[in-house]
Amino acid sequence: MPDLYLVLASTLFVIGLTGFLIRRNALIVFMSTELMLNAANLVFVSMSHVHGVLDGQVAAFFVMVVAAAEVVIGLSLIVTIFRARRSTSVDNEILLKG
Amino acid sequence: MTTLETIAPVAATGSFAYAWLLIALPLASAVILQAGGRLTDRWGHLLAVLTPVASFGLGLVYFLGLMGRPEAERAVDASVYTWIAAGGWHFEVGLLLDPLSILFVLLITGVGSLIHVYSLGYMAHDPNRRRFFAYLNLFVAAMLILVLADDYLVLFVGWEGVGLASYLLISFWQERPRAAAAGKKAFIVHRIGDLGLLMGIFTMLAMFGSSSFAAVDEGAAGLAPGWACFLGFMLLLGACGKSAQVPLQTWLLDAMEGPTPVSALIHAATMVTAGVYLVVRSGAVYDQAPAAQLAVAIVGTVTLLAGAWIGCAKDDIKKVLAGSTMSQIGYMMLAAGIGPAGYAFAIFHLLTHGFFKADMFLGAGSVMHGTGDDVNMRHYGALAKVMPITFVTFAAGYLAIIGVPFFSGAYSKDHIIEAAFEHNAVLGSLALLGAGVTAFYMTRLMCLTFFGQKRWREGIRPHESPAAMWVPLVVLAVGAVIGGMALNAWISRWLVPIGAEAPEHATWLPDFSNPLSWAVLAVVAVGVVIGWLLFGRRPAPDEAPAAVSPLVLAGRNDLFFDAAYDAALVRPGLALATGVAYFDDHGVDRAVESLGGAALATGRRLRRLQNGHVRSYGLAMLIGVVAVGVVLALLQLV
């Protein structure tokens, strides 16, 4: 039974990772990151259930808080960049080069 | 060999406790002038003239104070403060006022004051007048430290101070490359002499545990002959550097690039006599080292002939006088090398020379002032009429230096030649020959400058100098005339407390009963006549003749000392420096640069990773995480 949770989590993680690596649109990349975080959350929660302790659930809450904060900053950055450049492609080298 | 009888100094009381003011006054004015900057431009030079005069007044008070004491108490040690007290070492800064040092104080501040006054006229239009006077005051202060110190280590402070002042003043017109080079040359040659003095001080510290005059005087008698000899030679090396004696004389002729008052004060009357002072002051050491003493006498004799030789061949009036200075200091060194019998005569000649040489240097400055700073005697001629005061005062110096009876030089030089004959017939004969050569080159100088026909350059109208310049000349000329008569009977007696031997008979009259005096007079007369026959009777060409005898050629080239040092020391030194520089450029630099180049190349490669593609960063992160995971997993397995 826990194996299935892990398989699901791995699948979600790999989907997220693949999306992160191959998509150009910043919004999709962003969503892929969220997907990977949630895959990790799923592992935390299921393991918490399996072991019967709450540590994993606490960790999952922390991840959610971090993810929420990330969304706030990340989305506002993307919006700003989109306004300035009319594009959200992450392949634009200048974005990360000084 | 008799042991020197020097008296032990007594502690300073009353006004003597303020002896430090002698030094502090000129030093303070030097500091004010330098620190005050342009604020002091308007009145700084006047302050600078006042302080040596004040020091002279104070020196006079102390001189009279010493005169008033009984002979056994004529040395006063005024302790100023403790300089170094560390473990077993203890150095006091103390000032020793005794018959020897007080004479120097009067010479330095007296002639110094006159030259300061003269400089008011000479440097009136120089844009850096304030700086010039600050340096002059610095010199006076340093020279006073040198002669007043009661410890060789304190003396060394003054010794270096005058060296610094000399360097600053030789290259005062620093925009002239020759002056800048001459200053450097003097400084570097001085270093060699300073090494000698330092080694001497180290020897004293090792042998006596102290370098104070008292400790050295006391300990010298028990010194092993080898060490005494070493000490004597090291002090002689120091004296050679400072007093421009062979083989360290080469800087003095170049030092004439400095302003003429500087040449008169530092490079004729005072600083260059410091070596003679050092030898006389170290009499106790030389008493134990006959070989070193003989070396002093030989160095003096060689220099007196070498200087006179150079003086015969030069056309530059200041260089003739510089050669003559070397030569006269050679006489003093010869006298100092004779031992106690000669000390008083060395100092006597030093004083009379201080007057007549300063007089002639300032006279030369006055001539240059009137002829548009021309130093070539072949461009002068017939100046006696247009510059009467300069001529008369210069003539007084001339008669004094060649040793005409009743003029000051006659007394002191006759004494030295006489003492040299009693000591060693060879040295005596050479000193006698030197007197003749002196008469020859000074006559040549007089004939070329003041007599004969006009060889003035176009547009030059020689004229008499302002009063600020001729008043000091007159005072110095009076000193040059009467100095010998005034001091002859007195000075030997006065210097007995510092170890000099007093001669039996000496009066204000020249000693005509001595056949040697007549011999000196005859030699001088021959020199004058030859000089007149060659340069006075017939017209002198206004260009230096090209075809000359090897003797003259050697004289013109400073006896080839510069060329020899160039070949023996300067060129190998340069070659060594070039080699080291090459190694630095091609060895050290290349190693360092290739190291830097490697770091740069590595950086350039690593930079490719930083391409700005978010997705490649993501991939790198993935690879990294996987790698870390694999490593952790493998570690678990192990």
Of B222, B243, B193, B358, the C-alpha closest to B287 is B222
- CA–CA min distance A26, chain B (Å): 10
Show the tokens assigned to B516: 């040697």
How far is residue B153's CA from residue B92's CA, in Å, rounded to a whole number?
10
What is the residue type of B300? G
Of A90, A94, A97, the CB nearest to B615: A90
Question: What confidence tens digit (pLDDT) does each residue in B293-305 have?
Answer: 999 999 999 999 9
Q: Complex ipTM, two decimals?
A: 0.80
What average pLDDT does the structure give for chain A?
87
Residue of B nearest to A94 (CA): B612
3-state SS, residue A97: coil
Taking residues B44-54, report their average pLDDT.
93
What is the residue type of B462? P
| pLDDT class of B510 with cuts at 50, 70, 90 | confident
What average pLDDT does the structure give for chain B?
90
Question: What confidence tens digit (pLDDT) does each residue in B347-357 have?
Answer: 999 999 999 99
Taking residues A32-50, report their average pLDDT.
92
Whole-number pLDDT of residue B3: 44
Share of chain B above pLDDT 70, in %: 99
- Does the pLDDT of residue B322 top 50, yes or no? yes
| pLDDT class of B2 with cuts at 50, 70, 90 | very low
Taking residues A35-41, report their average pLDDT.
93
Of B100, B131, B156, B116, the C-alpha closest to B34 is B131
Question: How far is residue B484 CA from its own chain's centroid?
Answer: 23
Taking residues A15-26, report their average pLDDT.
89
Q: List, in order, residues 6 or more apart from B233 with CB less than 8 Å away.
A: B196, B289, B292, B295
Of B368, B413, B363, the C-alpha closest to B392 is B363
Whole-number pLDDT of residue B512: 77
Check CB contact of A35 with chain B, cutoff 8 Å: no
Whole-number pLDDT of residue B471: 92
B432 CB-contact burial (10 Å; exposed 0-12 / middle 13-18 / buried 19+): buried
- CA–CA min distance A22, chain B (Å): 7
How far is residue B44's CA from residue B130's CA, in Å, rounded to a whole number?
6
Cα angle B482-B140-B470, degrees, rounded to a multiple of 5: 45
Whole-model pTM: value is 0.80
- CA–CA min distance B609, chain A (Å): 12
Show the tokens assigned to B254: 């170049």
Taking residues B499-525, report their average pLDDT.
81
Sign for the CA dihedral angle at B499, B504, B505, B507 comes to positive
Whole-number pLDDT of residue A94: 56
Q: Do B612 and A21 touch (CB under 8 A)?
A: no
Whole-number pLDDT of residue B477: 94
Of B318, B346, B347, B359, the C-alpha closest to B480 is B359
Question: What confidence tens digit (pLDDT) does each residue in B156-214 have?
Answer: 999 999 999 999 999 999 999 999 999 999 999 999 999 999 999 999 999 998 899 98
Whole-number pLDDT of residue B501: 78
- CA–CA min distance A57, chain B (Å): 23
- Does the pLDDT of residue B548 top 60, yes or no? yes
| pLDDT class of B72 with cuts at 50, 70, 90 | confident
Check CB contact of A37 with chain B, cutoff 8 Å: no
- Does the pLDDT of residue B155 top 80, yes or no? yes
How far is residue B626's CA from residue B624's CA, in Å, rounded to a whole number?
5
How far is residue B237's CA from residue B232's CA, in Å, rounded to a whole number?
9
3-state SS, residue B95: strand
Q: Do A20 and B612 touch (CB under 8 A)?
A: no
Whole-number pLDDT of residue B262: 93
How far is residue B296's CA from residue B303's CA, in Å, rounded to a whole number?
10
- Does the pLDDT of residue A14 top 60, yes or no? yes
CB pairs under 8 A between A and B: 30
Of B611, B617, B622, the CB nearest to A17: B622
- E-strand spans in B42-191? 76-86, 89-97
Mutate to test the interface with A, among B608, B609, B615, B622 (most CBs of A within 10 A): B615
Of A17, A20, A93, the CB nearest to B613: A93
- Does the pLDDT of residue B340 top 90, yes or no? no
- Does the pLDDT of residue A98 top 70, yes or no? no
Whole-number pLDDT of residue B541: 81
Alpha helix segments (H runs only) across B171-316? 177-208, 213-220, 225-243, 250-254, 260-264, 274-281, 283-288, 290-313
Question: What confidence tens digit (pLDDT) does each residue in B341-386 have?
Answer: 889 899 999 999 999 999 999 999 999 988 888 888 888 888 888 9
- Does the pLDDT of residue B614 top 80, yes or no? no
Taking residues B9-23, report their average pLDDT.
86
How far is residue A43's CA from residue B331's CA, in Å, rounded to a whole number?
108
Q: List, in order, residues 6 or more apart from A13 with CB less than 8 Å away.
A: A35, A36, A39, A40
Whole-number pLDDT of residue B1: 35
Cα angle B78-B82-B86, degrees, rounded to a multiple of 5: 150
- Does the pLDDT of residue B601 top 90, yes or no? yes
User: Which DSSP state fits B282?
Assistant: T
What domains lie within chain A, and their CATH numbers? 2-97 (1.10.287.3510)
Whole-number pLDDT of residue B514: 83
Share of chain B above pLDDT 90, in %: 62
Show which residues on chain B lie within 8 Å of chain A, measured between beta carbons: 610-615, 617-619, 622
How far is residue B82's CA from residue B177's CA, in Å, rounded to a whole number?
43
- Does the pLDDT of residue A89 top 90, yes or no? no
